[in-house]
Homo-oligomer: A and B are copies of this chain.
Amino acid sequence: MTREQRQQAVALIQQALPELEWTLQSAKIKRLSRDFHWFSPVLNQQLEGKQADAVVRPRDEEELRQLVAACVQQQLPLILRGSATGNYGQLVPLEGGILVEMTALNRICELKNGTVRAQAGIRLAEIEDATRPTGWELRCMPSTFRLASLGGLYCGGFGGIGSINYGPLAAPGNVLSVKVMTVEASPRVLTIPAPQALLLHHAYGSNGIILEVELALAPVHRWIERLDVFDDFADALNYANECLRSPGFVKRQLALLAAPIPAYFSHLKGHYRAGQHAVISVIAEESEGLCAGLVPKHRGENAIRQSGDEARENHASLMEYCWNHTTLHALKIDNTLTYLQTAFNYQHFPEQILQMEQRFAGEVISHIEFLRDNDGNITASGLQLVRYSTEERLNEIMQIFRDNDIKINNPHVFQVEDGKQGIIRPDVVAVKKYIDPDGLLNPGKLRGWALRDQLVLDNNPLSLTDK
């Protein structure tokens, strides 16, 4: 479809559905067509100039249904937008079309004992505002929880804060079901239980319109947020590892930040010396007594300490210095930096971390996040900062990590399969064929779609008995 054909289609849809909330000014559309993929100089270049032809913000499911039906009629691409906090250009329209802002679909649908079902456009922090008084909070969420939407997390997220207990969002038991709208002339609404629901997870909204997500929750603790500093990287690592290992040490978040990362935190750096390494931890009040012994044991000292309540009141949580917020704070200070996403081997990650920190001294700066993997193993992942020189050197660095048995989840790619999924998955493609037979959702992101005729696809990939 040429740009002109698309604009004609938009005009027709707008004529048919004038009551929808349309955004048509090019500058606004351009701004709304971007997320945080600019963390990657590679993606920044590749996705330059890509934008939607129009933005629509449906006020409810019915408006969304009308829009979807109209897009199908016009065969116009549809791309879903949450809060645009993603890092892989998941919302950037590669072939134009209508960008659908989901932020008005932000209702909590059902809150039960230990579970919540909410609409895709709700912000994660708003979910917690509703669940916390009932004694529950999210099991895992990104550092962007204040802005990030539930649908965005589901379609492009991984886990993050809390994954140290519950593993990735995709670990069995965390997601209970999703409600999805099909992209057909008469859009249908399907409720898909786990585990099939996971076929729509981390697919960048390319194989279904997520309307609602039902999550299992975690019991609330009174959290204490700490930033402890160490002069020696190995000390900081050993401290973090001891916190990590102790099953009686209850925590929600644990990150290790090599120097000079803590110095990039403009609002915090007055609390410690340049050159110090930091461990950020969010630990249960009843576990904090352990720190009094552990921090000095590893020659560290406490620099910042606040309660979770204080953090929320002041909009100044240390969790917003972890995961990809770390990258954001660093890039604000030094825009020659970019980053990696790595997964260490659970059997010897402390040695690997130390080895890589020493090997790349200065060029790759350790930012380590601790978590459980899908099999419940305690392990570590990295969001290392890299002093970017060339794409070639970046690829070389990633290869060295791979050669040392450290997995790379390349954040410098915009296609689903090149990042976390790793391979073309026929079951994921089959879901797209089932839900979005014309391939209108976020075209260009699911590489397997172009190969669908060469794949053996299940006709009923969601095993739905009652459609």
Per-position binary interface string of chain A over residues 106-135, scored 1 when its CB falls under 8 Å from any chain B CB and 0 otherwise: 000000111100000000000000000001
**Contact A217 B286, beta carbon cutoff 8 Å:** yes
Task: Provide the bound-state CA to CA distance between A173 and B167, in Å.
Answer: 21
**Contact A172 B114, beta carbon cutoff 8 Å:** no
**Contact A114 B248, beta carbon cutoff 8 Å:** no
Is A422 interfacial (CB-CB < 8 Å)? no
Residues of B within 8 A of A171 (CB): 246-248
How far, in Å, is A448 (CB) from chain B's closest CB?
A: 25
Is A165 interfacial (CB-CB < 8 Å)? yes
**Contact B173 A249, beta carbon cutoff 8 Å:** yes
Per-position binary interface string of chain A over residues 373-385, scored 1 when its CB falls under 8 Å from any chain B CB and 0 otherwise: 1111110000000
Is A290 interfacial (CB-CB < 8 Å)? yes
Residues of B within 8 A of A293 (CB): 195
**Contact A219 B216, beta carbon cutoff 8 Å:** no
How far, in Å, is A371 (CB) from chain B's closest CB?
A: 9
Residues of B within 8 A of A284 (CB): 114, 216
Is A61 interfacial (CB-CB < 8 Å)? no
How far, in Å, is A193 (CB) from chain B's closest CB?
A: 8
Determine chain A's interface SS by DSSP, over half rule. loop
Per-position binary interface string of chain A over residues 200-227, scored 1 when its CB falls under 8 Å from any chain B CB and 0 otherwise: 0000000000000000110111100000
**Contact B375 A216, beta carbon cutoff 8 Å:** no
Per-position binary interface string of chain A over residues 412-433, scored 1 when its CB falls under 8 Å from any chain B CB and 0 otherwise: 0000000000000000000000
Interface members, chain A 87-101 (any B CB < 8 Å) = none
Task: Provide the bound-state CA to CA distance between A222 and B290, in Å.
Answer: 29
Is A372 interfacial (CB-CB < 8 Å)? yes
Is A34 interfacial (CB-CB < 8 Å)? no
Is A285 interfacial (CB-CB < 8 Å)? yes
Per a CB cutoff under 8 Å, which of B139, B245, B285, B377 touches A378? Answer: B377
With A221-B219, A247-B166, A247-B167 given, is the CB distance from A113 to B376 under 8 Å? no
**Contact A165 B285, beta carbon cutoff 8 Å:** no
Residues of B within 8 A of A174 (CB): 248
Is A270 interfacial (CB-CB < 8 Å)? no
**Contact A286 B247, beta carbon cutoff 8 Å:** no
**Contact A247 B372, beta carbon cutoff 8 Å:** yes
Q: Which size class do A's interface residues fall under? A: 35 or more
**Contact B287 A248, beta carbon cutoff 8 Å:** no
Interface members, chain A 414-461 (any B CB < 8 Å) = none
Task: Provide the bound-state CA to CA distance between A373 and B113, in Å.
Answer: 30
Is A194 interfacial (CB-CB < 8 Å)? yes
Is A278 interfacial (CB-CB < 8 Å)? no
Is A54 interfacial (CB-CB < 8 Å)? no
Residues of B within 8 A of A216 (CB): 248, 250, 284, 286-287
Per a CB cutoff under 8 Å, which of B176, B286, B347 touches A113? Answer: B286
Residues of B within 8 A of A194 (CB): 289-290
Residues of B within 8 A of A347 (CB): 347
How far, in Å, is A248 (CB) from chain B's closest CB?
A: 3
Beta-carbon nearest neighbor of A288 in chain B: B173
Residues of B within 8 A of A249 (CB): 172-173
With A219-B219, A219-B221, A287-B216 given, is the CB distance from A172 to B246 under 8 Å? yes
25 contacts between A and B (CB under 8 A): A112-B286, A113-B222, A113-B286, A114-B221, A135-B135, A135-B219, A166-B247, A167-B246, A171-B246, A172-B290, A173-B246, A173-B249, A173-B250, A173-B290, A194-B290, A216-B248, A216-B250, A216-B284, A216-B286, A219-B219, A219-B221, A244-B376, A246-B376, A376-B378, A377-B378
What would 16 more interface pairs be, CB under 8 Å, given A114-B222, A167-B246, A219-B219? Answer: A113-B222, A113-B285, A113-B286, A139-B248, A171-B246, A171-B247, A171-B248, A172-B248, A173-B246, A173-B249, A173-B250, A176-B289, A245-B376, A246-B376, A247-B372, A377-B378
